[in-house]
Amino acid sequence: MAKNIIVIPTYNEKANISLLLEKIWGLLPDTYAMVVDDNSPDGTAEVVEKLKIRYPNLLLLKRPGKDGLGKAYIAAFRNIFANYNFTTITMMDADLSHDVKYLPEMLRLSENFGLVIGSRYILGGGVTQKWGAGRRLLSAAGNLYLKIIFHRYPIQDWTTGYNVIRVNVLKKVNFDELNPRGYAFISSLKYRLAKAGAAIKESPIFFEERNGGESKMSLFIILEGLILPWKIIFQKLFRR
Ligand SMILES: Nc1nc2c(ncn2[C@@H]2O[C@H](COP(=O)(O)OP(=O)(O)OP(=O)(O)O)[C@@H](O)[C@H]2O)c(=O)[nH]1
Ligand SMILES: [Mg+2]
């Protein structure tokens, strides 16, 4: 039987993590989850530590300080490759923006696809009405920008953080080539997976507004997202 693990990076998600984990094991009792915490000042890791008593399939990877979403994911991927034998790894935010209800279908699709994208930008998907026009435009424009630059690969949602990846496909990616921060990490990972020949399927999700806690969105993350695709493309040219 397939063994699945959900990787959840956290930074100050004390208010959300218990509820998310409860929902996960309410729906998927056999799955594993690894919380990757960057020493959150609000004590997220302590909350998770206590929950390990209740949930035997809960793993906690503690890191010394805030070092970005991408580095947290890469540390988790490396840890999983070294210590466990899972068939799929799911990437998911802790803030309840990513509804667990989509996961059974995404996991089913992952039997035939190396990368299953929880997609806001295909028929049936969407984003919360609570996002103002600015945030919506930023997300849509960012995606369009990446779609144009990475047009070789038919992905509609390059920046969504809700994805299921087959471990055998993920092992083909050289993590040193990924840009470790913000949305840039997520789109560069998808680009590398596509380039490695992953079969890709998008499955519609509706993205909810974060449930409390603080946004980590910053101007830096936006600017980096603008520059990143060019870095990826030029890296490619230089390696030829
Ligand atoms: N371990 C770790 N997790 C992080 C870091 N930055 C963000 N996260 C987590 O990554 C996930 C996505 O980050 P969010 O802050 O929700 O980013 P977002 O969804 O783009 O923005 P909002 O939800 O609107 O704030 C959440 O679970 C965060 O707690 C980090 O530096 N280290
Ligand atoms: Mg969020």
Q: Which of 231, 233, 159 is nearest to 195 (CA)?
A: 233
- Which atom number of ligand 1 is nearest to the Cα of residue 95? 27
| pLDDT reported for residue 216 | 67
Q: HEC profile for 137-172?
A: HHHHHHHHHHHHHCCCCCCCCCCCCCEEEEHHHHCC
- Residues with pLDDT less than 50, the chain: 240
CA of 83 to the centre of ligand 2 (A): 28
Name the closest ligand to CA 161: 1
**pLDDT single digits (tens) 149-159:** 999 999 999 99
Q: Which domain holds residue 201?
A: 4-239
> What single string gives the DSSP state of each residue in 7-53?
EEEESS-HHHHHHHHHHHHHH-TT-EEEEEE---TT-HHHHHHHHHH
**Ligand lying nearest the CA atom of residue 12:** 1
The predicted-structure confidence for 136-149, as pLDDT tens digits, reads as follows 888 888 899 999 99
Nearest C-alpha to atom 17 of ligand 1 is from which residue?
Answer: 216
Q: Which atom of ligand 1 has the smallest separation from the CA of 216?
A: 15
* Pocket lining: 97 vs ligand 1, CB cutoff 6 Å: yes
The predicted structure's pLDDT at residue 49: 98
Question: What is the total count of domains within the chain?
Answer: 1
| pTM beyond cutoff 0.85 | yes
Q: What is the CATH number of the domain that holds 164?
A: 3.90.550.10
